[in-house]
Amino acid sequence: MSESKQVENVIIIGGGPAGYTAALYTARANLEPLVFEGFQWGGQLQNTTDVENFPGYPDGVLGPEMMSQFRAQAERFGTRFVTDDVDRVELSDGGVQRVFLGDEEYRAKTVILAMGAEPKRLGIPGEMELGGRGVSTCGVCDGAFFKGDRVVVIGGGDSAMEDAIFISKYARELILIHRRDEFRASQIMLDRAREQENIEFKTPYAPLEFVAGEEGKLEKVRLRHSETGAEEEIEADGAFVAIGHTPRSEIAAGQVETDENGYIVTEPGSTRTNLAGVFAAGDVVDHTYRQAVTAAGSGCMGALDAERYLRDSPPPVEAHWMPGGEPVELSPRG
């Protein structure tokens, strides 16, 4: 096993708005952050087109472009990036935090967990098997493949509306399927979807199966009426599952406290987790707001919390003897 030479001040795991904002703030505080931004850096905004609700962009901005700017701003102050996915972590309560990339071990006095969230799956037959053959979780990525086709979008939140509006620019016909008659989506997004002539709403129906045709591509979606239980099949060339997200907390699960849905638990009004020196920010914590701007705000809080922790706590005992660790005067934690 190879070892990095030094104990970092702060390692940030995550390359979305929370991670990059935490990097910007810690870099400006001269903490020389090391960011594990993931192989597909940029987080969920990498899969978005127009962002119209991030303050400071009166004309809107493309999601990937905004994330490039976040990254560049953090880099300007000395952030270092590792463009890969962390394999595992060994978190400690006030000791040295360990992050592993394959056999490579990285150590830090603090870690900010900002891994974000990922799309939820329906868990029905055909969903995984037909991934890339008609079934997708990313309208913005795959919508253009369905030009002139008949497409379904599943879900009743803003993600489903956003996907439906985007894909309807390509699809001939789009059917939005939702399991209830009421929608979780904001009124403005719902109205925009309803204004599209080629979008039809089909409620209350839940999908049961994605059925392949002879060529092994999606051909039909089997549905059940949520109230009567009656089943039916509708033809579709494409199906987009847009039913929300799951926090990407798996590498920290069992080490740091999480709630029943896997979101990392932080002290109210702070990014402190149950482990001293371990902070969490962004969508891996937040199941309420889940916006780029709130993720960025909590990334800022994570950076300030980590900075204060480093200022007020003696370095971990192990940092005393680790290569590159600062020689410290050992005193009990205050």
Instruction: Give the Cα separation of 314 and 280 in Å (integer).
Output: 21
- 44 vs 271, which CB is nearer to ligand NDP? 44
Q: Which amino acid is at 55?
A: P
Which residues in this chain contact ligand NDP in the complex, by CB under 6 A? 53, 120, 122, 155-160, 162, 179-180, 184, 186, 206, 243-245, 290
Instruction: Give the Cα separation of 150 and 15 in Å (integer).
Output: 35
- 187 vs 331, which CB is nearer to ligand NDP? 187
Smallest separation, CB 121 to ligand NDP (Å): 8
Smallest separation, CB 77 to ligand NDP (Å): 29
Question: Of 238, 178, 181, which is closest to residue 206 (Cα–Cα)?
Answer: 178
- 162 vs 307, which CB is nearer to ligand NDP? 162
Instruction: Give the Cα separation of 264 and 252 in Å (integer).
Output: 9
- 120 vs 217, which CB is nearer to ligand NDP? 120
- 183 vs 309, which CB is nearer to ligand NDP? 183
At residue 110, what are phi and psi to the nearest 5 degrees? -140, 155
Question: Of 134, 135, 102, 92, which is closest to residue 36 (Cα–Cα)?
Answer: 102
Question: How far apart are the two ends of the chain, measured CA to CA in Å?
Answer: 35
Structure tokens that stand for 263 in this block:
């979101």
> Who contacts 162 (Cβ-Cβ below 8 Å, separation ≥6)?
48, 139, 189, 242
- Adjacent-strand bridge partners of 205: 225
- 119 vs 277, which CB is nearer to ligand NDP? 119
Q: What positions carry a catalytic annotation?
A: 138, 141-142
Smallest separation, CB 280 to ligand NDP (Å): 18
Smallest separation, CB 145 to ligand NDP (Å): 21
Instruction: Give the Cα separation of 261 and 255 in Å (integer).
Output: 15
Strand-pair category, 88-90 with 150-154: unpaired
Smallest separation, CB 189 to ligand NDP (Å): 6
Looking up tokens 């001269």, which residue turns up? 30
Smallest separation, CB 287 to ligand NDP (Å): 9
What does DSSP assign to residue 68? H
Q: In what order do the strands lie in the sheet with 205-212?
A: 205-212, 218-225, 231-235
